[in-house]
């Protein structure tokens, strides 16, 4: 089954920053790589489910005219909202994904350390929501830890294998380390283009 929301509520009740996103070099570096992998300079409308305390959200806010960030835990939402209060285009709200997926479309969706918490049914629903709400030519960024974790319903490798096999998603970038996968997919059609192609360089 999917990881229960109570697990996350307990983590945030014990520590406002349970994964040490604010202090750990590993995550600072990974967030920098995630934003650097974005194929476009800016996006009209981005969505970050599972935003946690908003460390990545603040970086995405600099690249998105409008950004919706959600998390299932009220405490995390409050921290994230405080962090991005200076960005007028950012909305932060409480939502349980995939059940509370927004009825909007986006040209950027970021799945960061999220999809391995879902069982088969919830992950299938998540991916269906992604493909339905990602605009044609929009970008999906997925980044996931690869080491075994007891509370994860599956591995990061499994998540990325499922994304790679999803119709309507074309992979345009892939970064692999022992610790995590970082991949970028484009919603098709139209045919996927590299950054150079998008910029008219080839």
Q: What is the CATH number of the domain that holds 52?
A: 3.40.50.150
Task: State how many domains the chain has.
Answer: 1
pLDDT above 70 as % of the chain: 100
Going by pLDDT thresholds of 50, 70 and 90, the confidence category of residue 185 is very high
Calculate mean pLDDT across residues 137-145: 98
Calculate mean pLDDT across residues 135-157: 97
Query: Nearest Cα to 38, choosing from 173, 136, 151?
Result: 173
pLDDT at 143 over 90: yes
Q: How far is CA 59 from CA 33, 65, 134, in A?
A: 11, 12, 20
Calculate mean pLDDT across residues 111-130: 98
The mean pLDDT value of the chain amounts to: 97
- Residue 1: its pLDDT value, please? 84
Tell me the pTM.
Answer: 0.97
- Residue 54: its pLDDT value, please? 98
- Residue 98: its pLDDT value, please? 97
Q: Identify the domain containing residue 166 by its residue range.
A: 5-198
Calculate mean pLDDT across residues 66-83: 98
pLDDT at 165 over 90: yes
Calculate mean pLDDT across residues 177-181: 98
Give 121: exposed, middle or buried? Use CB within 10 Å, 0-12, 13-18, 19+. Answer: exposed
Calculate mean pLDDT across residues 44-53: 98
Q: Is 26 helix (H, G, I), strand (E, B) or coil?
A: helix
């Amino acid at each position: 089954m999917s990881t229960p929301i109570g697990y996350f509520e307990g983590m945030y009740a014990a520590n406002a920053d349970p994964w040490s996103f604010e202090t750990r070099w590993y995550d600072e570096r990974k967030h920098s790589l995630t934003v650097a992998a974005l194929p476009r300079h800016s996006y009209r409308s981005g969505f970050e489910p599972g935003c946690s305390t908003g460390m990545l959200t603040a970086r995405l806010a600099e690249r998105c005219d409008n950004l919706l960030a959600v998390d299932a835990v009220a405490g995390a939402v409050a921290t994230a909202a405080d962090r991005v209060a200076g960005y007028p285009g950012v909305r932060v709200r409480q939502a349980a994904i995939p059940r509370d997926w927004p009825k909007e479309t986006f040209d950027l969706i970021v799945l960061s350390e999220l999809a391995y918490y879902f069982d088969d049914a919830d992950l299938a629903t998540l991916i269906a929501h992604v493909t339905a709400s990602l605009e044609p030519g929009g970008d999906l960024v997925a980044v996931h830890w690869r080491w075994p974790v007891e509370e994860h319903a599956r591995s990061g490798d499994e998540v990325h294998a499922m994304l790679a096999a999803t119709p309507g998603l074309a992979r345009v970038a892939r970064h692999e380390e022992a610790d995590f996968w970082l991949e970028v997919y484009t919603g098709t059609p139209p045919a996927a283009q590299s950054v150079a192609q998008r910029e008219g360089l080839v």
